Structure 1
Amino acid sequence: MIHIVGAGSGDVDLITVRGARLLEEADTVVYAGSLVNPEILTTYTKSGCKVYDSARMTLEEVLDVLLTAERAGEKVVRLHTGDPCLYGAIREQMDALDAAGVPYEVVPGVSSFCGAAAALHAEYTLPGVSQSVVITRMAGRTPVPEKESVASFAKHGATMVVFLSTSYLEGLREQLLEGGYAKDTPAAIVYKATWPDEKVVRGTVDDLPQMASENGITKTALILVGGFLGTQYDRSKLYAPDFSHGYRAAKTGGAPHAD
């Protein structure tokens, strides 16, 4: 069994209990060295555990380490940043393990987009403002399908979380404005969410390149855009006195509601 584990968004304590236990038991760990907080390894791995940094490895080299260790009867962890399902390049690893007949499990983690919201004291889904969250990235060396451009998503006016795009802020601003966001739409950049050196910068869509340059942010940051960063929203009906649902009757005679 190979365990594909989400390390969480950065803070050592934000790995799951299961993920921490698997690291403590592991004989071999291959971790995403460019993104995973190395203190997670020193905190949880045991003496003698073999640790490999995949930032310096190809897919084939990663697989060779994983399969060799698993076939030797070792407990193996493939450690990814955040939650493996987002920009983790795990599909190709799982397909290779399937082809090799090696069992594996995926252990979820706390994504950095959750850590960024926590750092901002923000809620992505605010009544009357936005009920959808678009998680995307700018095209770089890895292309983005044309129908999934930032501009096309921006047309919806939903909350947007942009990964892997700190180097493309001029282009990001252009696409956000092209898609329909106003220049003064609230925006934020969260550098290394939940890490000890976390930094939060607030501004507007029009300010994004300046926000990054003035704060020396060039990588390892999320860009967040939308009205959820503003001050106006509707109160949730779930806790409104005049709203009934399956667990509580309205205080002022409101009719039962299915939501």
Structure 2
Amino acid sequence: MPRFALKIEYDGGPFCGWQRQAGGQASVQQALEEALARLEPGEHRIQAAGRTDAGVHATGQVAHADLAKDWDPFRLSEALNWHLKPAPVAVTACARVDDSFQARFSAVERRYLFRIVARRAPVTQERGLVWQISRPLDPEALRAGAARLVGLHDFTTFRSVLCQAKSPVKTLDEITVEEMPYPGGAEYRLRFRARSFLHNQVRSMVGTLERVGAGAWSAEDVTAALNARDRAACGPVAPPQGLYLTGVGYPVDPFAG
């Protein structure tokens, strides 16, 4: 069966997350599988690079699907986008790939973005797409706290109790912090890069770093929380609406060319 890689963008607000749920709650996976069934009747199961939680968005999710017909990739993406309407899900790229390609297990890197907006007035145009706080943060303090998390660590403190990963030890390759103007306030964009992440790891780290940027925690407090290897030592967990899966890296980019 021909295998296709799909690059997917979605607003996670209306969904219970990426993964199909037994209870019938709307999921991104379900929306895509139902669109595939409109093209090729029957049951479809697709696999994604990351199982984003309820309310989390994506601009660069990757999934693979096996189909009966050897579709032209452009025609397949166009047909899927037609049948995905009106769900806030879009296939932005499609490529025919080798049978050995797996969206999840072939990935060597995942990239996330977290957007924080600091202003007093309610956010209207991007409501549900950012985490709004009322007071500005210190970007240098954010960077100092973030530096304590980069590298190989036991991230038990920043791991959900529901996490099913075999080990809490991960290598966080990079965190960058960018401050930019936002109407009536400021926006802070935190970018994370690693081979893989634990369940709720990014949101847990962002919640802790927000405390550092607000002056309630120090960079040393971040190190102490990390070394505690205790979920109770984590700061508040940031809400899902500011989080985006922005990209997945592979040894060979399936969408190149």
TM-score (norm 2): 0.28
Q: Which has the higher Rg, Structure 1 or Structure 2?
A: 1
If each structure's strand is expressed as a fraction of its own residues, which one has the higher value? Answer: 2
If each structure's helix is expressed as a fraction of its own residues, which one has the higher value? Answer: 1
